[in-house]
Chains A and B, each alone.
Chain A
Amino acid sequence: MSTSDGRPTGVTHAGRVLHAGLHLLDRQIVEQGTGRMAGKVDDVELALDEDVPVVRALLTGPAGWGPRLPGLLGRLVTSVHHRLHPAEDPQPVAIDMTHVVDIDSAVHVDDQDLGDQGLGEWLDQHFIGRIPGAGDATE
């Protein structure tokens, strides 16, 4: 995404103020080139050990939102996700902030492979994908 003079839109927002919880958390992630909805921002990773503390990455997937759910429900989601994911200790998909093109009502990222999301993929295949019209969701 760029302005009429070719600059990435993110540059035009330099100096703006955002609230992490309000403007990032639970926002839709949209792939820039394809317009594909790639997930939600389920958590935000902070780089507090750097000279200037900054936002390092946006986290998405059940390993991101599972721990945010309270009590038993959160533990259940996390545990099912661990069981279904091929990795031994699955981590949330991290989208480094270098891939974030713009932030408005959605978070726009450049095209990238978000990888296997375990529980998310399983739900897509077994439930969401079977809903009539699911294959045309982006149209």
Chain B
Amino acid sequence: MRLSELLGREVRDADNEYVGTVADLVLVQDGPLRGPYAASLRISGLILVERRHVRLLGYERDVLPVAFRWLLKRLAGRISYVPWEAVDLDEASVTLSVRTADLVEHDPAYRRRTS
């Protein structure tokens, strides 16, 4: 599957309620060793935005200016993170095994762990 096929897809929760759309895919470089250079990029989870057609442009992270983050949050609505284990993917849809109320708000501070 291609990343572009996943981005923007509508996501529904365990009760078949609309949750949002896929805004990005979180990768962690701790997968199985692949080749001579590094561990592979394991798919850790999805970042979902409540409203459609919103590009996060990286401002969902703990970056400046604060005004941009505030504006993005107003435009995107709820930004949440779903671990890959809770994602059920088929040809046309993305369904979660959790309910919307149980979703974890995306943690902007994750950037401190990135390069």
Contact = CB atoms under 8 A, between A and B. Distances in A.
A88 B16 CA distance: 41
Contacts of B24: 19-22
Interface string A43-64: 1111010001111000100000
Interface residues of A, number: 36
Given A11-B37, A13-B38, A54-B40, A18 B4 contact: no
A21 B37 contact: no
Contacts of B40: 52, 54-55, 97
A10 B37 contact: yes
A55 B37 CA distance: 15
Nearest to A49: B1
A52 B28 CA distance: 12
A67 interface: yes
A104 B115 contact: yes
A56 B3 CA distance: 11
Instruction: Classify the interface of chain A: helix, strand, loop or mixed.
Output: mixed
A98 B3 contact: no
A46 B30 contact: no
A130 interface: no
B39 interface: yes
A17 B58 contact: no
B23, B24, B32 pick with most chain A CB within 10 angstroms: B24
A46 B3 contact: yes
A83 interface: no
Given A18-B29, A19-B26, A54-B42, A97 B35 contact: yes
Interface in A63-119: 67-68, 96-102, 104
Contacts of B58: 19, 22
Contacts of B114: 16-18
B34 A54 contact: yes
Interface of B: 1-4, 6-7, 23-32, 34-44, 47, 56-58, 84, 89, 110, 113-115
Given A43-B3, A54-B32, 15 more contacts: A10-B29, A10-B37, A13-B29, A17-B114, A18-B27, A19-B26, A20-B3, A20-B27, A20-B41, A24-B3, A52-B40, A54-B41, A55-B41, A59-B2, A102-B38
Interface of A: 8, 10-11, 13-25, 43-46, 48, 52-55, 59, 67-68, 96-102, 104
